[in-house]
Amino acid sequence: MAIFDHLSLGVNNIEQAASFYNDLMRTIGCDALAVSDGFIAYGKTSVQFLVMLPRDGESASAGNGTHIAFVASDKETVDRFHQCAVNNGGSCEGEPGERPEYPLPNVYTAFVRDPFGNKLEIIHNGFSV
């Protein structure tokens, strides 16, 4: 049994989030499965990841030391995800590449920030393998 039902990140603008995340999530085979004025829910067959306006109405902020890591089926997916993020308003936080310092062999990963400052990782051969 999975230990997470879903993960979510706060954003300040749903339309801007859609412009960034719709294509980005397609690079890993996910689509927007539910959309409202306050959130977009992504997944393959069920919702697993959401971007949403904060419920308290305050501005969204990124957590220091917090990131969400998405699974990549191969190194090319890592490369596509990273390039898509940078091309759609995100910023590079770590070029695609091998990470020999990770506790697992043959890890290939990249890091980006979305337009709202949230840190994302895309990883091939990570813990979920």
pLDDT beyond 90 at 111: yes
Residue 32: pLDDT band with limits 50, 70, 90: very high
Residue with the bigger pLDDT between 75 and 64: it is 75
Residue 129: pLDDT band with limits 50, 70, 90: confident
Residue 10: pLDDT band with limits 50, 70, 90: very high
Output the pLDDT for position 4.
87
Phi, psi values for residue 108, rounded to 5°: -130, 120
pLDDT beyond 90 at 2: no
Residue 21: pLDDT band with limits 50, 70, 90: very high
pTM attached to this predicted model: 0.94
Mean pLDDT along residues 104-121:
97
**β-strand pairing of 47-52 with 91-98:** unpaired
Longest Cα–Cα distance of the chain, Å, equals 43
Output the pLDDT for position 11.
97
Mean pLDDT along residues 94-110:
96
Output the pLDDT for position 128.
87
- Domains defined along the chain, listed by start: 7-53+66-124 (3.10.180.10)
Amino acid identity for residue 59 in this structure: S
Q: Label residue 122 exposed, middle or buried (CB < 10 Å: 0-12, 13-18, 19+).
A: buried
